[in-house]
Amino acid sequence: MIPENLKYTKEHEWIRVEGDVGVVGITDHAQEALGDVVFVELPSPGKKVAQGEEACSIESSKAASSIYAPAGGTVKDVNEDVTADPSLVNSDPYGKGWIYTLELSDPAELGNLLTPEQYKELL
Amino acid sequence: MPESESSSPRATPLQEKHVAAGGRMVDFAGWLLPIQYESMLGEHRHCREATSLFDTSHMGQFLIAGPTAAEELSRALTQNAEILPVGRGKYGFLLNDAGGVIDDTILFRLGRDEFLFVVNAGPADGDADVMRQRLSKAKLTIQGGWGKLDVQGPTSRAALAPLVEADLGALPYFGCCRTRIHGRRGIVARSGYTGELGYEVFLPAEDLPALWDELVKNPDVKPAGLGARDSLRLEMAYPLYGHELSLQINPIEADLGRYVDPFGPYVGAEALRKVAQACLTRKLAALKSSQRRPFRTHDKIVAEGKEIGEISSGAFSPSLEAAVGMGFLPAGFADISTELIVKTARAEIPVTVVEKPFYKNGTCRKKQ
């Protein structure tokens, strides 16, 4: 499942851009590979991240993994629902399982990301 | 867990069933086994509520027989075979001279002169060598053409009983018998590794797939993988060989002293007497976090800013909805209610030393 309206990273994050804000999560492939998500470490709102930098982390029943910033910016909102119920990342990775939003510092960086077609090829 | 052999992993008699059920197959101790089917957490919870099937055909099964078997086994293992009643099993250890654990095992007495010895997959070949050295007249046969299916969960008796000739309701905890299972000659024992009411079913390899098919017709019965098996045993604070037990760890340090009689006649007893008489330098403790963030094997345990030990097993506990684990601690830090820190690559997690088991509602000892 690779929605058409998103951009992707090679590390299996997705970003949905609405104006100068991007919503970030992990892909269906990523949640499937991770297995049951048991803990999401949300970034602190206001945290500045560069493109490709670790923004926060996620723990599954198997292992811990980094969640990288698909683009540079400042963390705006975080999804407290996945703190209470991390399984949302498994059950709805592109919807209720979103992780944080970013105020983009340079929307031109989005050009470095993968299109749905390119991400599909990567898998 | 033990390192696997270099050659390609062996398939169990249920390999095709696992693949058909969507099992994610991994190499475990030289065997191809499912780590999970759909979800480790889901499989864990199912076993606590209904009935789960675990393919444990990788484990070693040795038959030991002869008029001197009981006496010889008493000297080879910590289990006192001479006083073990027929139809009962006992958990214990194969030790070396230093009291280190070669393997943790269950010995079942099938008849006056016949025993079934069940061992872990990784150490199995070495166990057979050691046993052959320690036994003289008693005959050891590796039951190689057999498999094993663990049927575990609070409803497991209802699921399995209609398929077993013997009366499962009359089988006590750690009871065992030869009987017919789904029409085939096998062995059933009331034991397991989950903390729930459950049975271990030993059958010739060719008879296992049909039993599996029959059991999964019941909507209460679902397969579970190695991932759930590990989190279920960890919630019970059961040891896993290679983690809480090894050649470098003796049973008393591992907090399993109740399973060994230091005055017994077995190999390793003398070393255990010395351990029992001295002050313990380290002890296995159960550690619980109040948060979900898991800690894992080899994460460091810290007290007063100093590293004092490491995690032997750690995971998210689905039943407690919190991180739990075990680790060896210097004796002064292993007391109940001691507060410590576990340092992972990303976080410092406060934990408390708690009583075992973590999960206290297991049905394994449920009366008939």
A-chain residue closest to B291, CA distance: A39
Write the DSSP string, chain A: ---TT-EE-TTSEEEEEETTEEEEEE-HHHHHHH-SEEEEEPPPTT-EE-TTSEEEEEEESS-EEEEE-SS-EEEEEE-THHHH-TTHHHH-TTTTT--EEEEES-GGGGGGSBPHHHHHHH-
Q: Under an 8 A CB cutoff, do B347 and A41 touch?
A: yes
Which one-letter amino acid corresponds to residue A111? G
Of the candidates B320, B334, B333, the one whose C-alpha atom is nearest the C-alpha of residue B291 is B320
**Domains and their CATH numbers in chain A:** 7-122 (2.40.50.100)
**How much is the pLDDT for B359?**
98
B315/A contact by beta carbon, under 8 A: yes
Question: So what's the ipTM on this one?
Answer: 0.91
Q: Under an 8 A CB cutoff, do B40 and A57 touch?
A: no
Query: Residue B356 in contact with residue B255, Cβ under 8 Å?
Result: yes
Q: Under an 8 A CB cutoff, do B39 and A36 touch?
A: yes
- Per-chain mean pLDDT for chain A: 97
How far is the alpha carbon of A86 from chain B, nearest alpha carbon, in Å?
10
In the predicted structure, residue B177 carries a pLDDT above the cut 70:
yes
Write the DSSP string, B186-255: EEEES--SSSSSEEEEEEEGGGHHHHHHHHHTSTTEEE--HHHHHHHHHHTT---BTTTBBTTB-TTTTT
Residues of B in contact with A64 (CB under 8 A): 296, 344-346
Q: What order of strands is seen across the sheet that includes strand A54-60?
A: A37-41, A54-60, A64-68
A95/B contact by beta carbon, under 8 A: no
Cis peptide before B318 (omega within 30 of 0): no
Task: Report pLDDT digits (tens) over B149-167.
Answer: 999 999 999 999 999 999 9
- Per-chain mean pLDDT for chain B: 96
Counting residues of chain B whose pLDDT is more than 90, the rounded percentage is: 95
**Domains and their CATH numbers in chain B:** 1-278 (3.30.1360.120), 279-354 (2.40.30.110)
How far is the alpha carbon of A51 from chain B, nearest alpha carbon, in Å?
20
Which one-letter amino acid corresponds to residue B94? L
B-chain residue closest to A65, CA distance: B346
Q: Under an 8 A CB cutoff, do B41 and A38 touch?
A: yes
Interface residue of B35, B39, B41, B319 to substitute, partner A, most A CBs within 10 Å? B41
Q: Under an 8 A CB cutoff, do A59 and B316 touch?
A: yes
Token representation of residue B28: 């475990």
Q: Under an 8 A CB cutoff, do B346 and A86 touch?
A: no
Task: Report pLDDT digits (tens) over A22-59.
Answer: 999 999 999 999 999 999 999 999 999 999 999 999 99
Task: Report pLDDT digits (tens) over B252-291.
Answer: 999 999 999 989 999 999 999 999 888 888 999 999 999 9
Token representation of residue B221: 């019965």
